[in-house]
Homo-oligomer: A and B are copies of this chain.
Amino acid sequence: MARAGVTAERLTQAAAELADEIGFQNVTISALARAFGVKPAALYSHVKDIQDLRIRVAKLALAELAERAATALAGRSGKDALVAFANAYRAYAKKHPGRYAAAQLELDYETAVDSAAARHSEMTRAILRGYDLPDPAQTDAVRMLHSTFHGYVSLEMSGGFRHTPRSVEESWERTLDALDAVLRNWPHQSGGASDG
């Protein structure tokens, strides 16, 4: 038989494309083998098992996302940077839902550290450079930003906003306005109850 030229890299790439088309959970060794015109067992020469494949796709997605975000961030600061980063994040997730789902995979500590996950935190920190936040608050803000971006995109994609007529685009923009506002005026200490 002529060799199909399968490599771990091509498998990962094809798995990512397949994930965007049919969903990350539906990417199987069998389906991937079919796409390459080989038998399922052939893939085990290049990939340890399906979990290994999933982790490779996750790393690919994290790297791609980090690159888009870095590009979006270049030469911007303050709210410009915030909006550009957030839009790049959301655009990637919507364009590559399978990859984005992969990026949410639980990675063990070692894997996560040497993957692009750390770069994300650094970039989110870069956004905050335009706002003036002392150190523990900076980490809190990074976590809040990441949470809001991920949460919004995640709920939007799973249809959580479809029950209300309000434009999802508009809400996204107003959410970014709100984040900008709160970053410019980060609460100093735990306040009491609101009094309007």
A positions within 8 Å CB-CB of B = 25, 78-80, 104-107, 109, 112-113, 117-118, 121, 130-132, 136-137, 139-141, 143-144, 146-152, 154-155, 158-164, 166, 170-171, 173-175, 177-187, 190-196
| Contact A171-B144, Cβ < 8 Å, known A113-B163, A154-B154 | yes
A84 to chain B, nearest CB (A): 11
- Min CB distance, A65 to chain B, in Å? 13
Instruction: Knowing A147-B148, A150-B155, A151-B151, say if A136 contacts B170 (CB, 8 Å).
Output: yes
- Cα distance A73–B193 when bound, in Å? 14
A190 to B144, CA, bound (A): 20
Distance of A171 from chain B, by nearest CB (Å): 4
- Closest chain-B Cβ to A149's Cβ sits at a distance in Å of 7
CA distance A170 to B180 in the complex (A): 21
Contact between A106 and B193 (Cβ–Cβ < 8 Å)? Answer: no
11 CB contacts below 8 A, A to B, read A78-B193, A109-B159, A112-B163, A140-B175, A141-B178, A146-B155, A147-B175, A149-B151, A177-B187, A178-B182, A181-B182
Chain B nearest CB: distance from A122 CB in Å? 11
> A151 touching B140 by the CB < 8 A rule?
no
Given contacts A173-B190, A190-B173, contact A121 B163 (CB under 8 A): yes
Known: A139-B166, A150-B154. 6 other contacts (CB 8 A): A79-B192, A79-B194, A109-B162, A141-B178, A146-B160, A147-B175
Complex contacts, A179 vs chain B, CB 8 Å = 182
Contacts of A190 in B (CB 8 A): 173-174, 177
